[in-house]
Amino acid sequence: MKLPTALGLFALCFAATLPAAEPPPDGLYADIATPRGVITAELFFQQAPLTVANFVGLAEGTLGPAPRKPFYDGLLFHRVVPGFVIQAGDPLGTGEGGPGYAFPDEFVPGLRHDAAGILSMANDGPDTNGSQFFITLAPVNRLNYLHSVFGRVVSGAYVLPRIQPRDKIYAVRIRRVGAAADAFRVTEASFAALVARAKPYPAEKTPGPSAPFDDPDHLLPTDPPRAQAFNYKLANFERATGHRVRARLFAKYTPDTPAQRPGNFIHKIAEQLHVERDGLLAVYFADIDKWALWIGDDLVTRFVGQPGTAQQFTKSGAFHEAKQAFIAQARAAADAAFAAQKKAASADSPVPPAQHLKLETDAMLDGLIFFFEKP
C-alpha cells in the first residue's frame, strides 16, 4: 500500500482538526501540521520582518541549504519541556543544527513571551539565530529581550501541551491573507537587505564593572550562567529602545563612609554607569538582604505616576513609597515563583537557594523594563 506523502499527511491532518470558521483577518499565517493536530500561528511580519522572513523563507524553500526545499517538513520537536516550551527546527534533531547561517536578533517593544502560544527564536547568545524556534506553553516574560518573538498561535492551542518529544512536523505551510501579506515574499536579496539594517549587539558580552549587569561576588547560579543572560537582556533592551537599565548584585554593602546611606551609594554607581538622569539602576546587597533603586532624575514624575516634581515627591515621601512598593511587588512575585518551583522539584533535584535571588532579579528587571515600555 502506498504511504501518504508529507503533503498528503498535512492535508489530512489539516482537514481533520480545523473546524469550519470565518475567514481569518488579513495577515500572514503558518499552519504547522503535527501528529497531534494543526497549529496555526499568526506571523508578525510587519513588526518583526527579519525574523518572519527567515521563518517564511525556510518554510517555503527560498532560504536554507541547497538543494532548496521546504526546510521544516519532516523535522522533529527535539525539545519538549512541560509547562515551558516545545522546540523544533533542527535538521539534526539534537539541538545543535541549523540552516548553515546565523542572523541578528530582532527585539520589538511590546512583543513579549506573555502567554502560551508565543513563537520565538532559539539561540546560543546574541545574534545567533538560525532555524530553531520554540512555542511557549505558559507566560515566560523572563525570556523577553533574550529571544526574538515573531508570532503567536491563533488556532490549535490545544495541540501544544500534547506534543511529545520526537513528534514530527509533517509540514509547515504559509498562508497569505490580504494585500500586505501577499506582498511579503522572501528572496535571498530581500533577506540580506533586512539583515543589513539590523542593529548589532552593542555591549560587552561578559558581566563586569562597565557592562549593563554585574554580579562580581557570583551570587547567582552559574549553571547556566545567569549573570551573563541578565547582561545580554539589558544590552538587548538598550539596543531595541535606547533606554538604559543597569543592575548590580553585591555580597556586602560597603559604603565609602560609615554614615553613607544606600541612596547616596547607588547615586555614585548611577553616575559611573551614566544613568543618573535618564536611566534606571537596581542594586542588591546580600548581607542586609536589601534592594535599592535609582530612578533617573528625569523619570521620577513618571515613576511616581502623579503630577508633581521630583523635589516635591522626595519631600513628601511619595517617591520613597513608590520605590518600596515596586520592590515589594517584585519580591512577592519571586517568592511565589520560588515556592512553586520548590513544590514541583523532585527530592533528588531540589531547587538551589541561589535560585531565589535569580527570580528576584528576573522580577526586578522585568518590572523596570515594563516601566520603560509603557506608553
Enzyme catalytic residues: 79, 84, 87, 123, 134, 143, 147
d(CA 77, CA 96): 13
CA 85 to chain centre: 12
Length of the chain as a residue count: 375
d(CA 23, CA 40): 13
CA 79 vs CA 84, 135, 136, 166: distances in Å: 10, 11, 12, 8
Judge contact between 93 and 78, C-beta under 8 A: yes
Question: Hey, is 293 helix, strand or coil?
Answer: strand
What distance separates the 2 farthest-apart alpha carbons in the chain? 86
d(CA 165, CA 126): 27
* DSSP assignment letter at 76: B
Alpha-carbon torsion (285, 282, 140, 79), positive or negative: negative
Please give the angle made by the CA atoms of 118, 279 and 305, to the nearest 5 degrees. 80
Instruction: Tell me whether residue 151 is exposed, middle or buried, using C-beta atoms within 10 angstroms of its C-beta: 0 to 12, 13 to 18, 19 or more.
Output: buried
Question: Hey, is 263 helix, strand or coil?
Answer: helix
Comparing CA positions, the residue from 10, 14, 41 lying closest to residue 28 is 41
Q: Quick one: cell of 312? A: 516635591
Q: Quick one: cell of 276? A: 543618573
> Which distant-in-sequence residues (6+ apart) come within 8 Å of 19 by Cβ?
none
